[in-house]
Structure 1
Amino acid sequence: MIPITDKEFKDLADFIHRNYGIHLKEEKKTIVMGRLYQVLQQLNFDNFTDYLRYVLADPTEKAASVLVEKITTNHTFFMREAEHFQFLQHKVLPYLSQTIRDRDLRVWSAGCSSGEEPYTLAMILDEFFGLQKGSWDTKVLATDISHRVLEAAAKGTYATEALASLPPQWKHRYFKNNGDGTSDVVDKIKREVIFRRFNLMETSFPFKRKFHVIFCRNVMIYFDQKTKTELVRRFYQHMEPGGYLFIGQSETIDREAVPYRYIMPAVYRKEQ
């Protein structure tokens, strides 16, 4: 293990917080050393000062991308916090389908990780709209900061056992079993998800139109309160009146700072 000094950890933590919003607490020092050990070895660095200089000097930002991938946990699974998907299907979509006049439903999976969440959203939308779907634009925007997880998500290949929590009809309708312990998301659903790399710390979101639904679940656990509040404000600004924000069950937002209305655990609404 390559040791990290207090100053090196502070410099590294400051860089990560400034660029990615992630708040590394002092007790994470050992985890950081463990997760970055192989990276430093491969680059022939024997200290974190030289490694951070290398990251800062890389104009391609690939080194920074590897750094943030190593210190974050891209853990997710199909139907995680399933009550959110049920609420979307049975409450939110019936409302939106009656109120969106131009039939352009805009859904964003922010911090989509390896794709299970946006693909689940696409399957719900396909099932809900059924034969009416052809007259709607229901594509899901799925963003993450990690190149690695986005590449995996776009392939849409998952261990067949990972589909166990999905409804049986979805497994047959929306996946192709490869016979080798893996299954692929069918092209019909893949085409409904647009994967893009995006840093949620961008102070200006580049979206031309506002969203009706934003899922940003189990992402803000890495942020301090100030960063969370600023991000939720941007979500609010880029959401249509009547839209819904879904966050992780272990997360909270400061409702005095942002006027979302609490609907149910981890679900908030922008009032008309």
Structure 2
Amino acid sequence: MTNSITLSAPDYTDADFQLLQSIARTQAGICLPATKKALVYSRVSRRVREMQLSSFREYLAFTTSPAGTVEMEKLICALTTNVTGFFREVNHFDHLRTVVMPELAPALRKGKRGRIWSAACSTGQEPWSIAMTVAGSFPEIGNYDFRILATDINSDVVARAASATYAPDELEGIPEKDRTSFLKLYDGAYRFSETLQRLPVFKVLNLNAAWPFHGSFSVIFCRNVVIYFDDETREALWKRLAERIEPGGFLYVGHSERVANAKLCGLVSIAPTIYQKEA
């Protein structure tokens, strides 16, 4: 049995943290202020131990080497936060149900292609909430050209989201009617129905890298993500997202976020945290 390596505070230097800041910024656009130094130590030290390396310096040398590609993804995952919940910020789902769907449903019936993007899907509660809202408003949605693209930089949480399976204590926030309509109990866990599972497509994606898809979206959810970016990265992302929203479409952002350059992006604030693309 291999003995685990115990890291002490001296193994984590200012130089190590500065390199981690650079990696986070370059790889994912994440800004790590000095106040996050202890938090970063707590998260990354687990990876150092799992790799059975003796220091942060050794770990970072490996991670930034050609052999460290897989570990680089794990490092970025360790630096990101995955706090989510079903129907979180419920005003967005109310807007989706009462404003978007009454226009989108008739358009789909006429042959329109419909797409919604959950741009930081985490463990899946957001895209599954979207799916329940859409299917609840338009039960025959599966017969039309409609999909939900659900992406996240963390491959582990994307796999978890794609499983469509949640423990009973994870269902908080789902109305009883949706639980009855869309969830079935299997071996002590709840799984979304096959009908609902046809709606989302799950992919690993770095929002600050190239996007390997084309086309526009009726709605983009990009919530509680840009708070981790610096101003330059944040504004560049808003612009890129706005370019992918069809005229008249909507962008939903987190409760503590705003699009500072909305006008330059062709977006109009129509409610707190809701923007519409100019027609």
Superposition TM-score, scaled by structure 1 size? 0.93
Residues 49-60 of structure 1 aligned to structure 2 (within 5 Å)? 49-59=57-67
Q: Distance in 1 between matches of 2:263 and 2:139?
A: 40
Q: Is the 8 A contact 2:142 2:198 kept in 1?
A: no
1:238 and 2:244 matched: yes
> What are the within-5 Å matches in structure 2 for residues 261-272 of structure 1?
261-272=268-279
Residue 25 of structure 1: aligned partner:
33
- When the two structures are aligned, how many residues end up with a matched partner? 269
Is 1:191 the counterpart of 2:172 in the alignment? no
The residue number in structure 2 matching 1:126 is 135
The CA distance in 2 between the partners of 1:198 and 1:134, in whole Å, is 25
State the secondary structure of the residue aligned to 1:143.
Answer: strand
Query: In the TM superposition, what whole-angstrom CA distance separates every residue of 1:197-247 from its partner, at most 9, and x where no partner exists?
Result: 111011x43322111110011111111111110001100111111110011
User: What is the DSSP-based 3-state SS (H/G/I as helix, E as strand, rest coil) of the residue aligned with 1:24?
Assistant: coil
Counterpart contact for 1:122–1:139, Cα < 8 Å: no
CA separation in 2, counterparts of 1:8 and 1:257? 38
2:109 paired with 1:87:
no
Q: SS of the residue aligned with 1:111?
A: coil
Q: Secondary structure at the match of 2:139?
A: helix
Q: Show the counterpart of 2:165.
A: 157
Matches within 5 A, 1:136-215: 136-178=144-186, 180=188, 182-202=189-209, 204-215=210-221
Structure 2 counterpart of 1:45, from 27, 46, 53: 53
Deviation of 1:58 after TM superposition, in Å, equals: 4.1
Aligned amino acid, residue 84 of structure 1: H
By how many angstroms is 1:169 displaced?
Answer: 1.4
Give me the whole-angstrom Cα distance separating, in 2, the residues matched to 1:209 and 1:70: 31
Q: Percent sequence identity over matched residues?
A: 33
CA distance in 2, matches of 1:208, 1:73: 28
1:184 counterpart SS class = strand
Give the deviation of 1:135 after TM superposition: 4.1
In the alignment, structure 1 segments of 5+ residues that lack a partner are none
- Aligned-residue offset at 1:15: 1.2
Structure 1 residue 178 displacement after superposition: 2.7
Tell me whether 64-73 or 108-117 shows the greater mean CA deviation.
64-73
Aligned: 1:250 with 2:259: no
Instruction: State the alpha-carbon separation in 2 of the partners of residues 124 and 256 from structure 1.
Output: 29
1:112 matched residue in structure 2: 121
Which digits, 9 at most, give the CA deviation of each residue in 1:89-137, with x for residues without a partner?
1012213334565321111000100001101111111111124x24422
Corresponding position of 2:3 = none
Gaps of 5+ in 2: 1-7
User: Quick one: distance in 1 between partners of 2:146 and 2:129?
Assistant: 13
Partner SS, residue 94 of structure 1: helix
Cα pair 1:158 1:183 within 8 Å, conserved: yes
Using the size of structure 2 for normalisation, the TM-score is 0.91
Name the CA distance, whole Å, in 1 between partners of 2:266 and 2:167.
Answer: 41
